[in-house]
Amino acid sequence: MLRQWRWERLRGRVKPAGEASARPGNQAVAGAALYRAGLNAQDEDRAAQGLRQLLAGAEQAIAPSGVTREGSTPRQAQLARLFAECWLTARRAGRPEQWRLAAVARSVLGALDALTLAGGLPEIGEAPDDAGPRPPFDHLDESDRRAVEELRRQARLYDLESLRPDGWLRLDSGAWSGLWHCPPTGWPEFGGLTHHDLGAAELHWNGLPLFVDPGTPPPAQAALRPLYRSAIAHGGLTLDGKDPYPENRPDYSDAFRRAVAGPPPELRTRFDGVTLSMDGFGRFGGHRQIERHWRFDGVGLRIEDSILGTGRPLIERRLITPWTVSREDSAIVLTEGEHRLRLSGDAPVTLHPAKLWTERGEERPLTMILFATSANLPWSGALTLQPVSP
């Protein structure tokens, strides 16, 4: 693989290495503060400089669908608040740029609402340390809240398929509301806020968060962040405990990434659910293509997995839940109030305590349900979830 990298360098197909640029979302945050400070001080030069920085950050940080390029729902909420506040400030001052800011705010708000499931906004990806209040508009006065709500009404994203090329998929089916994150290349965005959560899904059942992302430890617990960034902290599938794709670098070309980890993953909706195909584990030898299929049948769920290739890896499938988890006979029962769901699988299962870290740094108890087995490839298996009859 080192020879391949050198060959790419000689052919000029790997971008030159250099200092990592600042996160584009951070550029927008700094520009917003400068812009509003300039307006408050009636300093046109400072306001103009801040506006340029704010809009340049938006161009880099926000994808065509309005979703952040950094793979983080907390960042999405932060940018929505940021641009809504700047628009409100410009609107109150009668500034000509209010229309441009309104257009950006409308795009980001529409994507934020599309990422928000029936039980609330998932905590997917790393949270910026300066993310701000949540929910993002509770601090506004009544007049500003009404203005933002009208902008959100205009911003509603009717074509959820537009999110998929930018790395997100939202699906509502029967009792289920789900959100999947899939970086367009499979590799986490370099310098972004992306976690190795490819193959995991945030799933809400009848408006209740059921299978969740564990979020990000606060700055005081920064030593835990590498663990929470890794795939083993998320509700996906791993082979031998490895992340689905390697860490990214700005000097990797698309050709090099493809040589290392195969073609980009494919995440698609189907008539009965969602499918994901990915080849990233092939970098460890053999053609280890994985396909996951989430099948929804109204109130039930079946997660089917197939792995092509050779060898005998440790196959681990994880589900992370805030519900109470207990063992009953050969199955796992998940309980929340009057709701009971029975989970069964095809491998030995163990239960592990975990934590959800909210954007405010609050800890909430979770349980990681781990199905683990070593098996010869090719292999296939399934997990099934159904309501328990009263």
Tens digit of pLDDT at every position of the chain (390 positions): 333 333 333 333 333 333 334 577 999 999 999 999 999 999 999 999 999 999 999 999 999 999 999 999 999 999 999 999 999 999 999 999 999 999 999 999 999 999 999 999 999 999 887 777 666 788 888 999 999 999 999 998 888 899 999 999 999 999 999 999 999 999 998 777 999 999 999 999 999 999 999 988 888 888 999 999 999 999 999 999 999 999 998 889 999 999 999 999 999 999 999 999 999 999 988 778 999 999 999 999 999 999 999 999 999 999 999 999 999 888 899 999 999 999 999 999 999 999 987 766 678 999 999 999 999 999 999 999 999 986
Residues 6+ apart with CB under 8 A from 42: none
Distance of alpha carbon 315 from alpha carbon 280, whole angstroms: 15
Q: Name every residue whose Cβ is closer than 8 Å to that of residue 9 and which is 6 or more positions away in sequence.
A: none
Closest CA to 216 of 134, 132, 122: 122
- What interhelical angle do 73-92 and 142-155 show, nearest 10? 120
- Is the pTM higher than 0.75? The answer reads yes
Residue with token string 């839940």: 321
Residues 184-187: contacts with CB under 8 Å, at least 24 apart: 184/264, 185/254, 185/257, 185/264, 186/244, 186/245, 186/257, 186/261, 186/264, 186/265, 186/278, 186/280, 187/245, 187/246, 187/247, 187/248, 187/252, 187/257, 187/261
What residue ranges define each of the domains in the chain, with the CATH number in brackets? 22-160 (no CATH), 167-390 (2.70.98.70)
